[in-house]
Amino acid sequence: MKMFRAAWVASLYLCAVSASADESAGPLYVPYQSSNIYALGETAGWHVTLPWGSPSASYVIRKNNLEEIGRGKILPGKPTSIEAKLDEPGMVYVEVTENSPGAKPRSSRSSASRLRTGILVVAAIC
């Protein structure tokens, strides 16, 4: 019985440690194609996951960073797909902004390691 309890406590500890390690990774954006270059009519997109401890985020999809073609919400811990399709050559810009007071979108080249002020992801359709 003592061995069972020790194994059970050890497994709970390992789960807690692995969960906290995942939180430090920050948001994850995985493109459908690693090159982020898509053919005409092909769906460009990203699989997005926010850490459990982060606030939700909103995103806006723009064609050539001008015309809005979509928007949505990303919830923490729930994998989300952001998708867009163009029928002519162009760029797809996705601006992700944390849903917190005063948060502003910012380029992915910023020094912020977390989503605090937003991120911009881009794909080319040719």
pLDDT, tens digit (0-9, with 9 covering 90-100), for 73-95: 999 999 999 999 999 999 999 99
Domain locations along the chain: 25-125
Q: How many helices (H) and strands (E) are present in the chain, helices listed first?
A: 1, 8
CA nearest to 96, candidates 126, 54, 124:
54
The fold of 25-125 is Immunoglobulin-like (2.60.40)
**For 118-126, what is the mean pLDDT?**
74
**For 46-73, what is the mean pLDDT?**
92
DSSP label at residue 108: T
